[in-house]
Amino acid sequence: MAPVDVNEILSKLTLEEKISILAGANFWETVGIPEKGVPVLKTSDGPNGARGGTMEGGATSACFPAACSVASTFDVDLAQRIGTALGKETLTKGARCLLAPTMCIHRHPLGGRNFESFSEDPFLSGKLAARNVIGVQSTGVSATIKHYAANEQETQRLTVDEEISERALREIYLKPFEISIKEANPGAVMTAYNMVNGIHADSHPFLLQKVLRGDWGWDGLVMSDWGGVNSTAEALNAGLDLEMPGPARWRKIPDVLAAVSAGKVTEQTINERALRMLRFLEREKCFEDPTIPAEQSIDKPEDRALIREAGARGIVLLKNEGGILPLTREKARGKKVALLGYAKQALIHGGGSASVSSHYRVTPWDGLRAALGDDVELTYAKGAHTFRRLPLLSENVVGLDGTPGFTYNVYSPGHSTPIETKQGHPNSELSVFETFDLGSAAPGAGGEREFELIGHFTSPVTSTYYFNLSGLGPSKFAVDDKVIYEQPANCSDFMGYMLGGVPVPRLEVPMEAGKRYKVQVFTNMPRPVAGVDLGIFDGRFSVRLGGMAAVEYHRDILAEAVEVAKGADYAIVFTGHDPDWETEGQDQSGFHLPREGSQDNLVAAVAAENPNTVVVNSTGVAVAMPWLGQVKGLLQTWFPGQEAGNSIADVLTGARTPEGHLTCTFPKRLEDTPAYGNFPGEYVDGQLKVKYAEGVFVGYRHFDRLPADKVNFPFGFGLSYTTFDYADLDVKEVSADEYAVSVRVSNTGGVKGAVAVQVYVGHANPAPENPVKVLAGFKKVALEAGESQTVLIPVGARDFAFWSEGGQRWVVAGGEYKFSVGKSAGDLVLSAAVQVGEKTYAP
């Protein structure tokens, strides 16, 4: 096939056709113009698995470890291998553009989406993201780095206005993007929802023109986050090429033509945006092969092995008092091991864009049962109520036709006879994800509709029942034709509702065992409100009713767990966040493990009865650990992907020596964190505003200025089942801009292990406005027991420069610097003094 001339194709398009390709056709695909030779491209979420075209159900996918887990390996080669596998997975879903990786900064422990990003450190984030991008794009799939820029919170993320200095932007929040763009050349960049210094990111001339296109010289495709466009002319002029999803909201052809006629946008700007879109299609070889293959679920053995390996290698051993771990098969033979908490749930990913319908999921119970065999007796108790939302009604319900499930009715407004009826709806929810997946075929997509779920529920117990009701639009809940609760207006937070729920009142209804109750749920599509953009929720609908017997809600399951732990030789408590608690769309509910202290109480109570207590924590963020002094062992496992139980078992039993290092600081108190008091911000005239008052002092940069006892575990911390020694540190100036750091690392223990050699650089006498040190190099090294190796790590001067707002350039102040090798940011084991001349670098 002859090469396509995209300029020639552009010349044949009418102005209307050029405008049409600047917004999506549907939720995942771009607009094609077949008669003019313009093909369609399909995109897919997300960061730890290619989901494909459906938000729920559909073809299953491989679920890889979350970015926080990958970063914890400090292994760029592994990040690239995972990227390659993700690229191949994307192709199995008929897509050529993966909406990943996410690479914003862990600014605050309560950030709802921290798990989806790599680290609190911009250098580590950028290096891992770059190699992930290289891996993805080696398969012919385009990576999309997101969310540009400063998307560090979920609270009011569509409208929050962030006040950030240019120095903090350059050194902390833009740096990962800069590294990825310069080292990996991603095909696309996705803009953030939030405002930065008063301007929405999708319409931001400084971010898009000055920095991205100008300073960095990048020429790929800029797309919006889904529903993240906030203007017509401004976004086009600033450099946003593609509005997603489709159909267009801000880029409807008549609206853009009107902007052109009014002189707000030039035809030249439309040409530039359209040409970038065509070049993106060319890059992804859509002209050569315009087909979009059917989605496939391919469960590959090599993916299983990679996910298990990567999940284990990201696990961080935080405490191992008395060498309680590893709990080998030999050590545990003939013993009783209590598995508590989340042991029978696999916490494989967080909520939102990163969630996938995985091929399978291995629980810790299953993983340990396979690892320890029949010679070890495993016992189990949940021990803590951890649900965030009351469970859906699905059992003991029949519809109007007498079959299991609810009757689902669709009405025209004001009519009592349904225009559509379905029987056997499985539960008490009409999911918003289904309405997106159905697209224009969704009931109500072509006009206003009202919706009803109706069924007869037979209570299995005599008890007060607790109920919650929430809907995107006005909704109500009735029992035996009596309205129990009505939500008269739209949901207060559409995104929060979609991705984990919003706070709702608890309703109480007394019920008797064996009695039948008519349960009805009504909902409407969101109502237009003056000054409120419904965005991607316009024309969609959703409602959710949760219910649970109070006797079950209040059942004392802690006492049962304590009894199980008492009778065991070892107690392993699995704590963490399920996707309802840690999710896109809302920030963490608190610093302590949820719910209402139940998990902290479980750990404390078990540790008080069993001296051999180990905690395995699965969160994407630092959490409070009031029980830390009571337990002997502690693992931070993040979200390890679909092989979670096997990865965890491999480390617990010593099949794999732990080698992970923390990618964020674990503070003792939330009050000591750098953004405390400035997260999630304050409302000013009805708008949430947040000051990034900590400037560049994010993560360990902040804690370096505080006493060491403010943290439980510092950035970069990680223990092993072996020990490592460091010697012979040497720093050589290779060129005016680069240094070579070499250090001899020895495995002085009894088993093979791996460690991340971390290099920190800081001025010997830092100015108050500058950090004490920054991570400027790292390398993962694996050593056999007794083996030594000289590790060489390059360090660029640009990587420890600071941004001069006055000089508009990067500056390395002249003087004496300390080049240090650390086991963590809080434990520098070797340092060398190096004289560094003053250096400056253009942006």
Of 45, 225, 437, 650, catalytic: 225
pLDDT digits (tens, 9 = 90+) for 29-58: 999 999 999 999 999 998 999 999 887 778
State yes or no: is 225 an active-site residue: yes
- Residue that the structure tokens 């549907």 belong to: 26
pLDDT digits (tens, 9 = 90+) for 297-319: 999 999 999 999 999 999 999 99
Q: Is the pLDDT of residue 780 over 70?
A: yes
- CATH number belonging to domain 6-283: 3.20.20.300
Q: Give the number of other Cβ atoms within 10 Å of residue 780's Cβ.
A: 18
* Confidence label for 181 from pLDDT (cuts 50, 70 and 90): very high
Give SS3 for 806.
Answer: coil
Backbone angles phi, psi at 694, to 5 degrees: -75, -10
Distances in whole angstroms, Cα of residue 780 to Cα of each of 71, 477, 691, 743, 792: 12, 56, 36, 13, 11
pLDDT computed for residue 446 by the predictor = 65
As a whole number of angstroms, the distance between CA 544 and CA 522 comes to: 10
Cβ-contact 588, 680 below 8 angstroms: no
Query: Shortest CA distance to 754 belongs to which of 664, 661, 620, 827?
Result: 661
What are the b/e assignments for 412-446, b being 16+ CB within 10 Å? eeeeeebeeeebebebbbbbbbbbbbebeebbbee
Return the ∠ at Cα 824 (arms to 821 and 827), rounded to 5°: 75
Cβ-contact 296, 92 below 8 angstroms: yes
User: What share of the chain in percent tops pLDDT 90?
Assistant: 90
As a whole number of angstroms, the distance between CA 538 and CA 255 comes to: 18
As a whole number of angstroms, the distance between CA 150 and CA 586 comes to: 16
Distances in whole angstroms, Cα of residue 207 to Cα of each of 166, 198, 210, 265, 695: 11, 12, 6, 19, 18
- Please give the structure tokens belonging to residue 365: 């119970």
Helices 644-652 and 301-313 pack at an angle, to 10 degrees, of 50
Average pLDDT over residues 747-773: 97
pLDDT computed for residue 826 by the predictor = 98
Cβ-contact 824, 717 below 8 angstroms: yes
Cβ-contact 368, 327 below 8 angstroms: no
As a whole number of angstroms, the distance between CA 354 and CA 63 comes to: 9
Query: Shortest CA distance to 807 belongs to which of 771, 776, 838?
Result: 838
pLDDT digits (tens, 9 = 90+) for 88-99: 999 999 999 999
* Confidence label for 400 from pLDDT (cuts 50, 70 and 90): very high
User: Domain locations in the chain?
Assistant: 6-283, 303-385+557-656, 397-553, 724-841
Q: Radius of gyration (Cα) for the chain, nearest Å?
A: 27
Q: Give the number of other Cβ atoms within 10 Å of residue 263's Cβ.
A: 8
Give SS3 for 546.
Answer: strand
pLDDT digits (tens, 9 = 90+) for 709-748: 999 999 999 999 999 999 999 999 999 999 999 999 999 9
Written as one letter, the residue type at 87 is G
pLDDT computed for residue 432 by the predictor = 86
As a whole number of angstroms, the distance between CA 165 and CA 478 comes to: 52
As a whole number of angstroms, the distance between CA 18 and CA 269 comes to: 11
DSSP structural state of residue 505: P
- CATH number belonging to domain 303-385+557-656: 3.40.50.1700
As a whole number of angstroms, the distance between CA 325 and CA 589 comes to: 32
As a whole number of angstroms, the distance between CA 828 and CA 819 comes to: 10
Kindly report the average pLDDT of the chain as a whole number: 95
pLDDT computed for residue 496 by the predictor = 74
- CATH number belonging to domain 724-841: 2.60.40.10
Helices 253-261 and 267-283 pack at an angle, to 10 degrees, of 140
- Please give the structure tokens belonging to residue 60: 């299953």
Per DSSP bridges, beta strands 221-223 and 188-191 are: parallel
Query: Shortest CA distance to 690 belongs to which of 27, 286, 154?
Result: 154
Helix residue ranges per DSSP H, 570-693: 598-609, 644-652
Q: Is the pLDDT of residue 585 over 90?
A: no
Q: Which of 38-47, 118-127, 498-507 has the lowest mean pLDDT?
A: 498-507
DSSP string, 128-174: HHHHHHHHHHTTTPEEEEEEETT----TTTTT-EEE--HHHIIIIIS
As a whole number of angstroms, the distance between CA 401 and CA 407 comes to: 8
Query: Shortest CA distance to 574 belongs to which of 323, 339, 318?
Result: 339
Cβ-contact 553, 592 below 8 angstroms: no
Cβ-contact 102, 113 below 8 angstroms: yes
pLDDT computed for residue 346 by the predictor = 97
Cβ-contact 551, 463 below 8 angstroms: yes
Cβ-contact 523, 543 below 8 angstroms: yes
pTM exceeds 0.85 for this model: yes
pLDDT computed for residue 540 by the predictor = 85
Q: Give the number of other Cβ atoms within 10 Å of residue 828's Cβ.
A: 16
Range list of β-strands (E), 648-700: 666-667, 682-684, 687-691
Written as one letter, the residue type at 537 is F
User: What share of the chain in percent tops pLDDT 70?
Assistant: 99
Sequence-separated (6 or more) residues with CB below 8 Å from residue 252? none
Sequence-separated (6 or more) residues with CB below 8 Å from residue 323? none
Residue 4: half-sphere exposure toward Cβ, Cα within 13 Å: 22
Which superfamily does CATH assign the domain made up of 397-553 to?
Answer: Galactose-binding domain-like (2.60.120.260)
As a whole number of angstroms, the distance between CA 193 and CA 154 comes to: 10
pLDDT digits (tens, 9 = 90+) for 2-37: 788 999 999 999 999 999 999 999 999 999 999 999
As a whole number of angstroms, the distance between CA 23 and CA 830 comes to: 54
